[in-house]
Structure 1
Amino acid sequence: MTTITEKLTFENYLAYNDGTDTQYELVDGELVPMSLGTGKHGNIIRFLVRQFEDTIAQSGQSWVALPSLVGIRSPRGRRWDTSRIPDVTVLPLVQWEAMENREAVIDFNEPPPLLVVEVVSPSTQADDYRSKRSEYGLLEIPEYWIVDAIAEKLTIGLLDHEFYDLTEFQGKALVQSSVFPTLKLTAAQILAGNL
């Protein structure tokens, strides 16, 4: 016997409530529950948000760094809708404030975030390196970080014509970010989730 799962539109997804606290991404019209990561996964996210917020404050930029609080509607090139929720999203403060009375999702007609970060889990590895990389490139997000504690590397993608040029950082290599050029962190510090 085959079970058929009903596909959701983007509007259905925004209105969806199953009565639990489960957070979902929408992938080709299907709800994909986001499982809790390990403590290390959470430490990396928390560490990056703090470092980004400190760097933003020092630079005087009117930006904000948010942990898993913003969805990004994604073009997958298929019939059904997709909406991703990055582990960290950096965007202008005015854009975040504009979401105060609506769902916190960046739609196609809105400017993309400045930077997104995905922290790799065994269950998200293929999506983080392939699907999301392609989707975020098409959305013209200027910078995409893939933090992979499993492979002990940080990959930073800089956008060039809807495609990311990737640079890998490991160990004591100082990361180089175009969005945060004054950030002074090594790959090892980020992968450890602390200084």
Structure 2
Amino acid sequence: MTQALTKQVTFDEFIAWYPESSDRHYELHDGVIVEMPKSTGKHSEIAGFINGSLFIEITRLSIPCFIPKECVIKSINTDSGYEPDVIVLDRQAIMDEPRWKKESIITRGSSVKLVVEVVSTNWSDDYALKLEDYESLGIPEYWIVNYLGLGGRRFIGNPKQPTISIYQLIEGEYQVRQFRENDLIQSPAFPELNLTAEQIFRAGEVA
């Protein structure tokens, strides 16, 4: 079993340490290696459903983007690195990424069309740490898919309920719109996406 380092490390030390063959996932949060919670079946189904839905749109409309199996987003402000649940990359912009071909590392927000985090028990990271870093990096669109209604009311409203928060970068700052129940998702990157919040929350369920 791979042991996480307990000392503060740099991003490059984290990448050098990261085990190549492991069924566990790790992120670097302000210099601290964090073992990510094991995904539940529902979490995995929702992430897979979003991945598949976006892939269909990319294919249908011949959008010059792709969805990698995995990658690490490097923060520009701190020693942090994240593995999002879903990420859509720009095929043209990725050519200018200095660490993509050899390491699957994203260092520029312009390479990203959309990033998605499906909320787990560590929900505060999605609404605080990652949101701030994705905004600073210049990632134009960020989804937080909170299918269990976890977290503070300031993030998902009152009463708390399953909510999809879509953050759009406008003049360097994120502006948020929230979607619940039968609200039709409105994605700047995929304006023709025909999905409701409830369809995403119910991914994998038998009708």
TM-score, with length taken from structure 2: 0.82
1:105 pairs with 2:115? no
Aligned mate of 1:34, from 33, 36, 39: 36
State the Cα RMSD in Å.
2.3
Checking the alignment, whether the CA contact within 8 Å between 1:49 and 1:66 is kept in structure 2 is no
Which secondary structure does the structure 1 equivalent of 2:165 belong to? Answer: strand
1-structure distance, mates of 2:11, 2:53: 33
Checking the alignment, whether the CA contact within 8 Å between 1:23 and 1:33 is kept in structure 2 is yes
The gaps in structure 2 that reach 5 residues or longer are 150-161
1-structure distance, mates of 2:46, 2:110: 26
1-structure distance, mates of 2:178, 2:86: 19
Map of 1:147 onto structure 2: 145
Aligned mate of 1:184, from 179, 183, 194: 194
Letter matched to residue 68 of structure 2: L
The percent identity for this pair of structures is 34
Deviation for aligned residue 1:39: 0.5
Map of 1:48 onto structure 2: 50
Checking the alignment, whether the CA contact within 8 Å between 1:143 and 1:179 is kept in structure 2 is yes
TM-score, with length taken from structure 1: 0.86
Checking the alignment, whether the CA contact within 8 Å between 2:89 and 2:113 is kept in structure 1 is yes
Map of 1:119 onto structure 2: 118
Checking the alignment, whether the CA contact within 8 Å between 2:6 and 2:33 is kept in structure 1 is no
The gaps in structure 1 that reach 5 residues or longer are none
Count of paired positions: 186
Aligned mate of 1:88, from 86, 89, 106: 86
